[in-house]
Amino acid sequence: MFKSNSTKWTISLVVIALIIAVGITISPDNPTFTPQTAIGQTNDSLNQDFEYLERANRAFIKVVNRAKPAVVQITTTRSVPTRQNRSDPFSDDWFEFWFGPRDRAEPEEQEEVRGLGSGVIVSEDGYILTNNHVIERAEGIAVVLPNGREYKATVVGKDAGRQGTDLAVLKIDGNDLPILLLGNSEDLEIGEWVIAIGSPFGLAQTVTRGMVSAKGRTSHGIDIAYTDFIQTDAAINRGNSGGALINIRGELIGINTAIATGSGFSYGNVGVGFAIPTNLAKRVMTQLIEKGEVERGWLGVSLQPIDYDLAEKLKLEEPRGALIREAYKGTPAHKAGIRRGDVIVEFNKMTIRDMNHLMHVVAETGVGETVEVKVSRKGAEKVLKVKLEKRTPEVLDRLAGRGADEGDIGAFADIQVQNLTNELAARYGYEGESGVIVAAVERRSPAARAGIGVGTLIQEIEDVEISNLKDYRERIQAVKDQPKILLYIRLPNNRGAAFVTLENQSD
Q: Which amino acid is at 447?
A: A
Sign, Cα dihedral of 416, 473, 287, 280: positive
Half-sphere exposure of 454 (CA within 13 A, CB side): 7
H or E element, residue 10: helix 2-18
- B/e letters for 154-179, b = 16+ CB within 10 Å, e = fewer, are ebebbbbbebbbbbbbbbbebeebbb
Question: What letter would DSSP give residue 326?
Answer: E
CA distance 200 to 118: 8
Instruction: Give the three-state DSSP class for 344.
Output: strand
SS3 track for 93-142: HHHHHHHCCCCCCCCCCEEEEEEEEEEEECCCCCEEEEEHHHHCCCCEEE
Burial (CB count within 10 angstroms: exposed 0-12, middle 13-18, buried 19+), residue 401? middle
Active site residue 220: no
CA distance 350 to 371: 11
- Alpha-helix runs per DSSP H in 19-82: 38-67
Calculate helix-pair angle for 355-364, 278-291, nearest 10 degrees.
Answer: 40
CA distance 283 to 274: 19
CB 338 within 8 A of CB 364: no
Cα 314–chain centre separation: 33
Of 166, 228, 405, 414, the active-site residue reads 166
Active site residue 133: yes
CA distance 143 to 35: 67
Q: Considering only CA atoms, which of 180, 196, 202 is closest in space to residue 116? A: 202
Q: Considering only CA atoms, which of 205, 72, 222 is closest in space to residue 133? A: 222
Of 185, 213, 241, 376, the active-site residue reads 241
CB 248 within 8 A of CB 193: yes
In DSSP terms, 129 is beta-bridged to: 120, 169
Burial (CB count within 10 angstroms: exposed 0-12, middle 13-18, buried 19+), residue 193? middle
Residues classed as catalytic? 133, 166, 241
